Amino acid sequence: MGCDGGTIPRRDELVKTKQKPEQKDKDSELIFQWRCCALTQEPLQSPIVMCGLGKLYNKVSLIEALLNKSSMPVEISHIKNLKDIKELNLTPNPSYKEEEVKEKSSTIGPSPFICPVIGLEMTGKFRFVSIWSCGCVFSERALKQIDIKICHKCQQPFEPDDVVILNGNEEDLVVMKERLAKRQAQQKKKKEKKVKTEPEDVPGPSTSSSTSVKNEKDKKSGPKLDKTAPNMSLNLKKRPGKLQESTVDTKKMKSDYSVAKDPQASDVYKSLFTSHKSEKEQNRAHWVTYNPFYN
């Protein structure tokens, strides 16, 4: 039955104590946050992007997830399109060697990226931030020490709401959500302003219908006269060997009009008609059939 033969039981054998919760390995947690994609847990490869909450992703894997929306996890539900992510402008570490890191995969080791201002390695031991407007990354210590509203790397201005803390704690996530909501509200205002400034396109009749309507109006009204054209009733300039056009208006012409009595008609023009004196006084037969001189 036990406890015979002079054996002395220990306390842990007789009393069941409550097990302590497992503690996370800090080194492995930092390696996962700063060296792996938050979506696929694969090693980070350029181009590297971040979301509005400061999580790091591989751009290729994130685009594939956006195309296949059915497989998107709930953790990245705030990412709806490429406008919700920003590509990072990272500064490479000159002392980083990938072969040495693979041999010591269990430890943090040197980081492939550093702060361009102070030179701190982006291993997770130091807090790093990024500017949403330009995507440049540097340490939070550099941002506090050099208190200016211009990016240290690209010299572009930014606002405090554009600062995104990379892989922040729970308190930082609350602040990042508020800043994300402000940026989204500003984008909506800009879109509304663009819509107001753009002229509204009024749907007009098609070209085919408008041309058909014009043709019908032209048929009803008849051919249009060119107002700039010279009046046909005006006298032509006198030229040798050519006839001069009479200026008699056809609308005012009367039934008793005679070319022989027209003072503006030339003598050569009058000689063409039978009313001329030369035609009346001739003895030979006229060439017009309706006035023959038969004997």
Q: Is the dihedral of CA 29, 31, 34, 36 positive or negative?
A: negative
In angstroms, the CA 142 to CA 123 distance is: 16
pLDDT of the residue at 267:
78
Instruction: Please list the residues that pair with 121 across neighbouring strands.
Output: 114
pLDDT of the residue at 235:
47
> CA 238: distance to chain centroid?
68
The CATH code for residues 25-193 is: 3.30.40.10
Could you tell me the two tokens for 48?
A: 């590297």
Looking at residue 136, the DSSP 8-state letter turns out to be B
In angstroms, the CA 37 to CA 76 distance is: 12
| DSSP run (H or E) holding 211 | helix 207-221
Mind listing the pLDDT tens digit of every residue in the chain (295 residues)? 555 666 777 877 778 777 777 776 777 888 888 999 988 889 999 899 999 999 999 999 999 888 887 667 888 888 888 888 999 999 998 888 775 555 555 567 788 999 998 889 998 889 999 999 899 999 999 888 877 788 888 888 888 889 999 998 999 999 999 999 988 888 888 888 877 776 555 455 455 555 555 556 555 555 554 444 444 444 444 444 444 444 445 544 555 677 777 887 887 777 777 777 777 776 665 555 545 555 4
If you search the block for the tokens 């996890």, which residue do you land on? 73
Classify residue 50 as exposed, middle or buried by CB count within 10 Å of its CB (0-12, 13-18, 19+): buried
The CB-side HSE value for 44 (13 A sphere, CA atoms) comes to 21
Structural domain spans, the chain: 25-193
The CB-side HSE value for 8 (13 A sphere, CA atoms) comes to 0
pLDDT of the residue at 103:
52
Measure CA of the first residue to CA of the last residue in the chain; give whole Å: 176
Are 57 and 50 contacting, i.e. CB atoms less than 8 angstroms apart?
Answer: yes
Residue 290, SS3? coil
